[in-house]
Amino acid sequence: MSKLIRHYSPGQIYFITSVTHNRERILVENSDMFWAGIEKVKKDTSFELSAWVIMPDHFHFVLDPLESDLSSVMKRIKLAFAYRFRKSKGLYRGKVWQSRFWDHIIRDDNDLSRHLDYIHYNPVKHGLVSSPFDWELSSIHGFLKRGQYESD
């Protein structure tokens, strides 16, 4: 596999997408393990997760790696979940994630707004709910409480 070189500059915010191996639909029913992994990584690595959605076979984040390396943050998050998931299933090996992840550098406030809407509308786009507010595994509820979205 070729070496992927990512552009990184301090203070940069990223839109991230990561997909499970073979698009296995394991994330929703194991979202507690996913969050436990994120919390573990947050204790050891500084990053800010400002928006997110967990879908059955992928997730989207808006993430600021702060002083950390983006690839390292993502590797740790994916490994933390994979470890917990395999342990819960009695598995000692096997892929949980597709290799790598997709990232997009947020360029300005308009770009950020478009990606926030994309993240929060994703469950509707995939036909899982009719309103983004019906999907529990999303940061949209915090955005609503802070007045950044209206309930309609």
28, part of any domain: yes
For residue 87, give both structure tokens: 């342990």
Structural domain contains residue 124: yes
What is the domain range of residue 141?
A: 14-145
Q: What is the pLDDT of residues 38-87, one digit of tens each?
A: 999 999 998 999 999 999 999 999 999 998 889 999 999 999 999 999 99
Model confidence at 5, pLDDT cuts 50, 70, 90, reads low
Which segments within the chain are labelled E, that is strand?
14-19, 48-54, 58-64, 102-105
Question: Does 87 fall in a domain?
Answer: yes
Instruction: Say if 6 falls within a structural domain.
Output: no
Overall number of domains in the chain: 1
- Binned at pLDDT 50, 70 and 90, residue 151 comes out as confident
Rg (CA), the chain: 15
Q: What confidence tier does 149 reach under pLDDT thresholds 50, 70, 90?
A: confident
With respect to residue 5, please indicate whether it lies within any of the assigned structural domains.
no
Residue 150 belongs to some domain of the structure? no
Q: What is the pLDDT of residues 100-138, one digit of tens each?
A: 999 999 999 999 999 999 999 999 999 999 999 999 999
How many beta carbons lie within 10 A of that of residue 60, not counting itself? 23
Residue 3 has pLDDT above 90, yes or no: no
Instruction: Examine residue 77 and state whether it is found in any structural domain, yes or no.
Output: yes
Greatest distance between any 2 Cα atoms in the chain: 46
All residues at 6 or more sequence positions from 106 whose CB lies less than 8 Å from its CB, including other chains: 12, 13, 14, 15, 62, 112, 115
CA atoms within 13 Å, Cβ hemisphere of 15: 16
Q: Is residue 20 part of a domain?
A: yes
pLDDT at res. 92: 85
CATH number, domain of 52, equals 3.30.70.1290
